[in-house]
C-alpha cells in the first residue's frame, strides 16, 4: 500500500564502513579514522545528512574500540569544521563478539546525535547469531534516554517492531520512533515491495522511516522507498559495493560519495528535495549537535 505523498525533504544516510566490507572487494571503503573523517566530508557535500559510523582496528578488522571511536569523531569534527560541513553523527552499537559495556561505552563519552538500536536477534546469513539480548537492550534504552541520543531502530525482520513496542511501553523509549528497514539480509526479510509494505503497516502512526537494501536489492529498495513516501534512504559501502554493471556484466565497485550522489539524483527526479543535516534534525526530533 502506497503511503500518502511525502513532501518533506528526503534524508539521505550513508553507512560508510560497516563491520565486514573488505578493502579487497571495495578499495574505497574507509577503515581508519582519518579515512572515515575525509569520507564524511565528501558524503556530506554530496547530500548525506546522516553518516552511520563503524570503526576498525589497526588491521582493518571490525572493532568497538573506544579509542578508535574517539579518534574518529575528533578527526571528523576537525575535518567538518575546516570544510564548513554539517552532518548528523550516528554511531553503531552493533553486536558480534562484544560485551554489553563495549557496545555502549562510546555513547557516554562521545554523545552522538544518533545510534543504532537493533531490537532483535537473527541468524545472520545462516553463519552466526546477530544477538541483541533483552539484557543489552534494557541497557541501551537507558543509555539513549540518559544521554539524549536518537535511536535508529534497525529492523531486519518483523519481530523487531514488536520488540521495539515493548521497550516503548515498558522502558520508556521515546516516540515518535525512527525505523531503519534493512532489507534482504540473509536470515531477515527479503527485499521486496510486499515485505516493505507489510512492515510499514506495523509501525506506529507518526513514526519516521528509512530503507536500505543489501546487495542486489539496494537500488530496488531505494526506488520503492521513495515511491512509498519514505522519510529517508540509506546507502553506502556497508550495505552494497556494486555501483553498476556494464553490458557484459562486469561490475563497477562504487564509493560512498557516488552512492550518495546517485540517491540524491533519484530523489530529485521523483520531486523530493534533499534534506540538510539541520532539516534532518528537525524531522527526527534531534535537539542538539555532536559536531
User: 3-state SS of 257-273?
Assistant: HHHHHHHHHHHHHCCCC
We report the CATH number of the domain holding residue 268 as 3.20.20.70
Contacts of 196 (CB under 8 A, 6+ apart): 181, 183, 211, 221, 224, 225, 228
Question: Does residue 6 fall inside a structural domain?
Answer: no
Residue 1 has pLDDT above 50, yes or no: no
Let me know: does 120 contact 132? Beta carbons within 8 Å: yes
Q: Mean of the pLDDT values across residues 276-288? A: 96
Which cell numbers in the block locate residue 21? Answer: 566490507
- pTM for the whole structure: 0.96
Structural domain range at position 202: 11-281
Pairwise CA distance, residues 83 & 68, whole Å: 22
Total domain count, the chain: 1
Confidence at 65, pLDDT banded by 50, 70, 90: very high
What's the confidence (pLDDT) of residue 74?
Answer: 97
41: three-class secondary structure by DSSP: helix
Q: Which of 102-106, 238-242, 244-248, 265-269 has the lowest mean pLDDT?
A: 244-248
Question: Does residue 2 fall inside a structural domain?
Answer: no
Question: Does residue 137 fall inside a structural domain?
Answer: yes
Q: How far is CA 143 from the centre of its chain?
A: 19
E-state strands within 191-247? 208-213, 232-235, 242-245
What's the confidence (pLDDT) of residue 4?
Answer: 65
pLDDT tens digits, residue range 177-219? 999 999 999 999 999 999 999 999 999 999 999 999 999 999 9
Question: Does residue 1 fall inside a structural domain?
Answer: no
Amino acid at each position: 500500500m502506497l503511503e500518502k505523498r511525502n513532501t518533506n525533504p528526503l534524508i539521505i544516510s550513508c553507512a560508510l564502513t560497516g563491520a565486514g566490507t573488505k578493502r579487497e572487494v571495495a578499495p574505497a571503503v574507509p577503515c581508519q579514522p582519518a579515512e572515515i573523517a575525509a569520507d564524511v566530508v565528501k558524503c556530506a557535500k554530496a547530500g548525506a545528512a546522516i553518516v552511520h559510523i563503524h570503526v576498525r582496528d589497526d588491521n582493518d578488522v571490525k572493532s568497538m574500540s573506544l579509542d578508535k571511536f574517539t579518534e574518529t569523531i575528533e578527526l571528523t569534527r576537525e575535518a567538518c569544521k575546516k570544510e564548513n560541513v554539517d552532518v548528523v553523527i550516528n554511531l553503531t552499537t552493533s553486536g558480534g563478539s562484544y560485551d554489553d559495556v563495549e557496545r555502549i561505552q562510546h555513547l557516554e563519552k562521545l554523545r552522538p546525535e544518533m545510534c543504532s538500536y537493533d531490537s532483535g536477534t537473527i541468524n545472520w546469513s545462516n553463519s552466526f547469531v546477530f544477538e541483541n539480548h533483552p539484557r543489552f537492550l534494557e541497557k541501551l534504552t537507558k543509555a539513549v534516554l540518559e544521554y539524549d541520543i536518537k535511536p535508529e531502530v534497525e529492523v531486519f525482520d518483523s519481530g523487531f517492531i514488536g520488540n521495539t513496542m515493548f521497550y516503548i511501553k515498558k522502558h520508556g523509549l521515546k516516540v515518535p520512533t525512527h525505523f531503519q528497514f534493512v532489507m534482504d539480509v540473509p536470515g531477515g526479510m527479503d527485499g521486496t515491495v510486499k515485505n516493505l509494505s507489510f512492515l510499514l503497516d506495523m509501525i506506529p502512526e507518526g513514526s519516521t522511516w528509512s530503507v536500505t537494501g543489501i546487495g542486489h536489492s539496494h537500488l530496488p529498495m531505494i526506488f520503492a522507498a521513495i515511491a512509498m513516501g519514505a522519510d529517508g534512504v540509506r546507502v553506502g559501502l556497508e550495505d552494497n559495493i556494486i555501483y553498476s554493471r556494464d553490458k557484459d556484466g562486469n561490475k563497477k565497485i562504487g564509493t560512498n560519495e557516488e552512492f550518495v550522489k546517485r540517491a540524491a539524483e533519484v530523489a530529485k527526479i521523483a520531486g523530493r528535495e534533499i534534506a540538510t543535516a539541520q532539516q534532518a534534525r528537525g524531522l527526527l526530533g534531534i535537539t542538539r549537535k555532536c559536531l
